[in-house]
């Protein structure tokens, strides 16, 4: 009889449900197995196998709770069912019940009889640890997997992610490089590995090497928005603003249906437009970012900063006031905002207001020394020389790097002009970033003008303007009062 044949667990009977699964008739498979369980005479090993087969059908139907129930039933029949523990662990990992997945992996390891199977289980356990942000445990589990099976590429990949999240980028790079050897014939996977290795190199500030990995990744898979985005970020960090701008523009095409990500991309591109001194485009892109995400704090800050660099000081401060709403509980951000507003008021000639905003920044007691510098300059304009000198001395004490522009100018204001020039000259050697270098040229021009050295001042002013520095800002800078009437200044600024 049919029931008796089933009791002997015949290949014919067992394969029938499997065929239904292969034909994607999962519900029929479930119904088949369910009706079969009603038959009398099923042996325990047959019941275990049938539960695991029905579990697979439930998985195809995305009925994970029922699939787990079948694994649990199989374990009740056979407490040493390695397959049941492995299957249930995989389901738990997939539905983010990581603690339960780890416990099942540990049990499955006890009943596994091959090194390869144990290696796979340690790798699965590591993946669950990774989801729990327990990176050291993930690293230990994957290291065990690699000892058991040195050819298990997934363990290297998973361990690389754990290393990366732990800030151990160089170790992550090593694991990714090993893993790549196993995927030379799988371009999409290899592309993702190259992209992730690029992320790790970027974390080590190896920007050119990161760009190379991203470019190799895109050759294998040209349709990868996040890699275009990350390569653009590497170009940006390497000071290649035009290439970064192009990269962000390309990435934007992949995120048209994701408002939040699209807003971030427009803001990123706007920052590149600042670097390129393209302020109308900057304001347009940050406005698009805010239209997409009206609570995008960074865009409010960045659009205010762009207006300041474009010489729109009053509108800049209006923008910073909007940004305050989103940064009110962030003392570091509020220090920068108040300091920037003090800077704007200084350029507007409102020196007491500049003092007031700078003082608000200082009262937040962060490590930022810039508000002391801004307040010191405003005190000088108000003829409060003693208070000004005290603030400049505070800058010299706080800037332990002794490299900032504020430090150089504070040296000048406290009677050390030669040392100030040396600091600025050294700054030229520290960067190849065109935007930073352009700013350094501008500051050197200001410094020489304050020293009443018009020839040197105009030489550096001409350099920065030739590089694209915004003339609107220079027009309003009182640092140039000593050279404003020189023929060279007028020629550089286009004054007839």
Q: What angle do CA 370, 407, 324 make, to 5 degrees?
A: 10
Kindly write down the DSSP assignment for every residue of 111-143, as one continuous string.
Answer: H--SHHHHHHHHHHHHHHHHHTT-HHHHHHHHH
Q: Which of 84, 80, 87 is CA-nearest to residue 111? A: 80
Q: E-strand spans in 185-331?
A: none
CB atoms within 10 A of CB 325: 10
The DSSP letter of residue 63 is -
**What is the pLDDT at residue 389?**
98
Distance set, CA 282 to CA 270, 272, 278, 304, 445 (Å): 4, 8, 6, 11, 26
Let me know: does 479 contact 466? Beta carbons within 8 Å: no
Name the helix (H) or strand (E) containing 1. Answer: none
Q: Which of 375, 317, 374, 306 is CA-nearest to residue 341? A: 317
Name the helix (H) or strand (E) containing 494. Answer: none
Q: Give the separation between CA 197 and CA 201, rounded to whole angstroms.
A: 6
- 3-state class of 372 per DSSP? helix
- 3-state class of 65 per DSSP? helix
Q: Give the separation between CA 348 and CA 335, rounded to whole angstroms.
A: 20
Q: Give the separation between CA 391 and CA 379, rounded to whole angstroms.
A: 9
Q: Give the separation between CA 441 and CA 240, rounded to whole angstroms.
A: 18
Distance set, CA 206 to CA 160, 200, 215, 385 (Å): 17, 9, 14, 46
Residues of the chain with pLDDT under 50: 1-13, 16-17, 19-21, 23
């Amino acid at each position: 009889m049919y029931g008796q044949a089933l009791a002997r667990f015949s290949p014919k009977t067992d394969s029938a449900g499997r065929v239904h699964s292969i034909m994607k008739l999962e519900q029929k498979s479930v119904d088949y197995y369910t009706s079969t369980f009603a038959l009398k005479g099923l042996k325990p090993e047959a019941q275990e196998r049938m539960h695991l087969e029905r579990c697979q059908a439930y998985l195809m139907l995305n009925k994970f709770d029922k699939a787990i129930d079948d694994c649990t039933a199989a374990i009740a029949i056979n407490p040493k069912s390695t397959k049941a523990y492995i299957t249930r662990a995989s389901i738990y990992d997939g539905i983010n019940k990581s603690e339960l997945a780890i416990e099942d992996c540990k049990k499955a390891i006890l009943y596994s009889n091959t090194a390869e199977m144990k290696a796979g289980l340690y790798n699965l356990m590591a993946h669950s640890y990774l989801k729990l942000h327990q990176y050291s445990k993930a690293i230990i589990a994957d290291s065990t997997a690699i000892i058991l099976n040195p050819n298990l590429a997934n363990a290297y990949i998973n361990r690389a992610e754990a290393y990366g999240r732990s800030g151990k980028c160089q170790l992550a790079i090593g694991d990714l490089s090993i893993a790549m050897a196993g995927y030379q014939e799988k371009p999409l996977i290899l592309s993702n590995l190259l992209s992730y290795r690029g992320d790790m190199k970027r974390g080590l500030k190896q920007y050119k090497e990161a760009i190379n990995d991203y470019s190799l990744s895109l050759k294998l898979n040209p349709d990868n928005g996040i890699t275009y985005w990350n390569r653009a970020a590497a170009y940006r960090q390497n000071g290649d603003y035009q290439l970064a701008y192009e990269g962000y523009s390309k990435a934007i095409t992949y995120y048209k249906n994701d408002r939040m990500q699209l807003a971030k991309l427009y803001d990123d591109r706007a920052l590149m437009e600042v670097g390129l001194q393209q302020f109308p485009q900057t304001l347009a892109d940050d406005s698009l970012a805010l239209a997409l995400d009206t609570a995008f704090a960074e865009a409010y800050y960045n659009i205010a900063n762009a207006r300041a660099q474009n010489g729109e000081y009053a509108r800049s401060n209006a923008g910073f006031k909007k940004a305050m709403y989103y940064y009110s509980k962030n003392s570091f951000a509020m220090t920068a905002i108040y300091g920037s507003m003090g800077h704007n008021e200084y350029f507007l000639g409102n020196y007491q207001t500049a003092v007031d905003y700078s003082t608000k920044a200082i009262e937040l007691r962060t490590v930022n020394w810039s508000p002391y510098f801004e307040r010191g300059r405003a005190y000088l304009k108000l003829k409060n020389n003693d208070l000004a000198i005290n603030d400049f001395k505070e800058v010299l004490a706080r800037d332990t790097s002794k490299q900032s522009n504020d430090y150089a100018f504070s040296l000048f204001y406290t009677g050390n002009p030669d040392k100030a020039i040396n600091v600025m000259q050294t700054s030229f050697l520290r960067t190849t970033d065109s935007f930073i270098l352009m700013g350094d040229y501008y500051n050197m021009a200001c410094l020489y003008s304050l020293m009443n050295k018009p020839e040197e001042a105009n030489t550096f002013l001409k350099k920065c303007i030739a590089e694209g520095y915004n003339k609107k800002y220079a027009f309003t800078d009182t640092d140039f009062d000593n050279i404003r009437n020189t023929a060279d200044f007028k020629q550089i600024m286009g004054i007839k």
